[in-house]
Amino acid sequence: MAILLDLQHITFEGTDRTLIRDLSITISDGDRIGVVGINGAGKSTLLKILAGTLQADGGSIRPGRGVSVGFLEQIPQLPEGTVRDALGSGWEIDAALDRLGMLAAAETHISALSGGQLKRVALARVFAQAFDVLILDEPTNHLDLGAIEWLEQQIKNFRGAVVLVSHDRFLLDQVTTRMLEIDRGHTYVHAGGYSKLLEAQAEREERAENAETVRKNLARRELAWLRRGVKARTTKPQARIDAAERLLNTKKEAAARDGELDLSADMPRLGNTVMKAHNLHFAYEGSRPIIADVTLELGPGDRIGVVGPNGAGKSTLIGLLSKEFEPTQGTLKHGPTVVLAYFDQQGGNFDDSKTVQELVAGPRGIPGSPADVALMKRFWFTGSLPKTKARELSGGERRRLQLLLALSLRPNVLILDEPTNDLDLETIRLIESFLAEWPGTLIVVSHDRAFLSMTTERLLEVRPNGAVTDVQGGIDAWIARSAGVIDSPIDDASGGGQLPANGPSNAKLLREVEKDIARLERQASKLSEKIASTEDYVEAGRLNKDFQALRQQIAEAEDRWLSLTES
């Protein structure tokens, strides 16, 4: 196994803290290394050091003889000219462009590409060249499922080494052989994929808790011994007493972020009707319909995922549902109690010249009020960040601010368009946890398979012909069908899904039961966590009774579902 890059004692100082401290790692051919950490931890910094575009403050990197490194940045730079000029020609190039949805744009000038198109062309370009090491920074951003599956195969089949930063947990678990975690300057290397990383993190936290307990107990014993004999001794032991007291008063290392991301908020109660769309069409003048003949009804607590290839019209569909623009044909009605918040892909349409606290206060509020400070703290806007102008925020901070502003409206309907882009895994997991408990109606467009699986119960596919159809079996069936594992048909009803033989009323009942099952399972999962964490056996007994009652309700709901599918 040839060594491609050897890093020894790499250190990099940020503006206010050490980002990377004493990192040593050897990268060999066949390595697939995933890099994770919270936003601002130093992931992109490390990739730039590996790619040679940034100089470390300490340590050394020794490349193997003749080793070449390819680098896909978050915001890639491409040479002037057309897409074809940047990539060259050949069937491999055309196949890559086709899977990335860019074949039709082969003669388009680079300057005319959107950010997402630029990323896809740069991805095709980096794999088309003969590199020994590939450094990929968030390569799945702006990719649809088909393109992500292509990327997975490219990474698996690559003959050299790949180092990537990604928030796509499914991808990380599929392709990585090692995970490199950056946490407050420290680096940890774990063998295996993302699931092994989680196991290692849990073990490390448990060891830290145990070590802290032992340390405190030892200090208490020594302090008690010193105090018992202090009057019979000289003042010399006072230094040891002071040292023991300092030890007791010190705290373990602070968390990377202050507290959990508390997204709970009051919201107006939803009525029985949330949205009713009938025969929705949308087309630009002189163009084919982007959305065609969509009939859809959403109720309180519905959790809808939206998938489809790039350019099919996913963002157009949710733009229509949110009333961002008008349909060219058909009707859309919102229920009278609907308070809607729309989280778009672009990072929020807010004034970049204002500070975070000014944006949170709004035109009628007072920046920096106690309520606003508490709200910003929940979203990890602490220290100097509240007084930072929006234009100076990182991509992840901007997305976090966008979510903060959306939820400050106290919505009961949330529409999220690619919400995981530019967010770190910790933030994504906490948002998933919040959405699992949030009682409103949720519509999510996402290419993040894990996120869709965690947060949605019903999946809609937007097809290139403008139709919107239910995906029977949800996200797992969608992945399997896209990968060619199964060949299950998906109905052609416009958004209504495949209706059972006895008509629409039965289909509606099925969805209601599925929603009940998902809700009860979320409650059971939370209750299981509480049982595991409590040390009060009386409380544990009460919680266990509640848990068994929930399991019974789930079994009854599953029986109802089976009866409806067989009728």
Average pLDDT over residues 57-63: 94
**Domain boundaries in the chain?**
3-197, 275-552
pLDDT score recorded for residue 242: 64
pLDDT score recorded for residue 240: 57
Query: pLDDT tens digits for 287-330?
Result: 888 999 999 999 888 899 999 887 788 989 999 999 988 999 99
Average pLDDT over residues 235-261: 58
CA-CA distance, 90 to 87, in Å (whole number)? Answer: 9
pLDDT score recorded for residue 502: 37
| Whether the predicted pLDDT of 497 surpasses 50 | no
CA-CA distance, 560 to 510, in Å (whole number)? Answer: 9
CA-CA distance, 106 to 98, in Å (whole number)? Answer: 10
Split at pLDDT 50, 70, 90, the class of 252 is: low
- 95 Cβ neighbours under 8 A, 6+ residues apart: none
Residue that has been written with the tokens 């052989």 in this structure: 177
Average pLDDT over residues 100-127: 86
Strand partners for 12: 20
Average pLDDT over residues 376-405: 84
Structurally, at CATH architecture level, domain 275-552 sits in 3-Layer(aba) Sandwich (3.40)
Q: Provide the token pair at 241.
A: 């007493």
Strand partners for 186: 183
DSSP assignment of 332-355 = EEE-TT--EEEE-TTS----TTSB
% of the chain with per-residue pLDDT over 90: 31
412 phi/psi in degrees, rounded to 5: -110, 0
pLDDT score recorded for residue 480: 72
Helix, strand, coil abundance in the chain, percent, nearest 5: 45, 20, 40
**C-alpha atoms less than 13 angstroms from C-alpha of 211 in its C-beta half-sphere:** 9
Fold matches, 3-197 and 275-552: yes
Query: pLDDT tens digits for 198-226?
Result: 888 777 777 777 766 766 666 666 566 55
Pick the CATH number of 3-197 from 3.40.190.10, 3.40.50.1860, 3.40.50.150, 3.40.50.300: 3.40.50.300
pTM reported for the whole predicted model:
0.70
pLDDT score recorded for residue 501: 35
| Whether the predicted pLDDT of 359 surpasses 70 | yes
Mean confidence (pLDDT) of the chain: 82
pLDDT score recorded for residue 499: 31
| Whether the predicted pLDDT of 284 surpasses 90 | no
Split at pLDDT 50, 70, 90, the class of 246 is: low
